[in-house]
């Protein structure tokens, strides 16, 4: 889980049976608080880390989940149709790190309030080799969109 903040999502996943969950955030105070709050859950791991430069080895995770992290990268953009080169580069850097730490066949799940046509150009880059599926939650206009990105099948 990237940029977990003080969200209970990692714990909720643990309670649902996903007992091997690693959560990162750039805030040392936040990670310390989360470690203390969920100390009774040994399968939850917490690390201070920058999503733009993950300290994990290549192919470390079956799933990478982000919930609003990428929204923050683009929050100051005034025109979603024309993202600044700086924001596009930041988005690419994060997605390249996600791609690097995913195991072959792994899945990247992105939960965002952005409309699909604004995110697809970032996610559907050939360099990542991801197939893209999305599903709307809520009413489809104001609700969150969930993207499921995974490597494209390798053709012989």
Q: Are residues 40 and 70 both part of a single domain?
A: no
Q: Are residues 71 and 146 both part of a single domain?
A: yes
Q: Classify 71 as helix, strand or coil.
A: helix
Q: Are residues 150 and 77 both part of a single domain?
A: yes
Domain that holds residue 16: 1-49
Residue 124 lies in a domain: yes
**Alpha carbon 14 to chain centroid, angstroms:** 17
Q: Are residues 69 and 136 both part of a single domain?
A: yes
- Tens digit of pLDDT at every position of the chain (156 positions): 999 999 999 999 999 999 899 999 999 999 999 999 999 999 999 999 999 999 999 999 999 999 989 999 999 999 988 999 999 999 999 999 999 999 988 889 888 888 888 888 888 888 888 888 887 776 655 555 666 656 654 333
Count the domains in the chain.
Answer: 2
Residue 54 lies in a domain: no
> How do 44-48 and 21-25 pair as beta strands?
parallel
């Amino acid at each position: 889980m990237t940029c977990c903040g003080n969200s209970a999502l990692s714990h909720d996943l643990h309670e649902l049976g996903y007992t091997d969950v690693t959560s990162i955030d750039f805030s040392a105070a936040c990670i310390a608080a989360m470690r203390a709050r969920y100390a009774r859950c040994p399968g939850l791991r917490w690390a201070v880390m920058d999503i733009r430069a993950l300290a994990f080895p290549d192919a470390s995770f079956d799933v990478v989940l982000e919930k609003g992290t990428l929204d923050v990268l683009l929050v100051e953009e005034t025109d979603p149709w024309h993202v600044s080169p700086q924001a596009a580069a930041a988005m690419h850097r994060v997605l390249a790190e996600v791609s690097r730490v995913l195991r072959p066949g792994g899945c990247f799940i992105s939960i965002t309030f952005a409309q699909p046509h604004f995110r697809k150009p970032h996610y559907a880059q050939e360099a990542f080799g991801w197939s893209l599926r999305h599903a709307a939650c809520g009413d489809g206009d104001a609700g969150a969109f969930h993207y499921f990105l995974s490597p494209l099948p390798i053709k012989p």
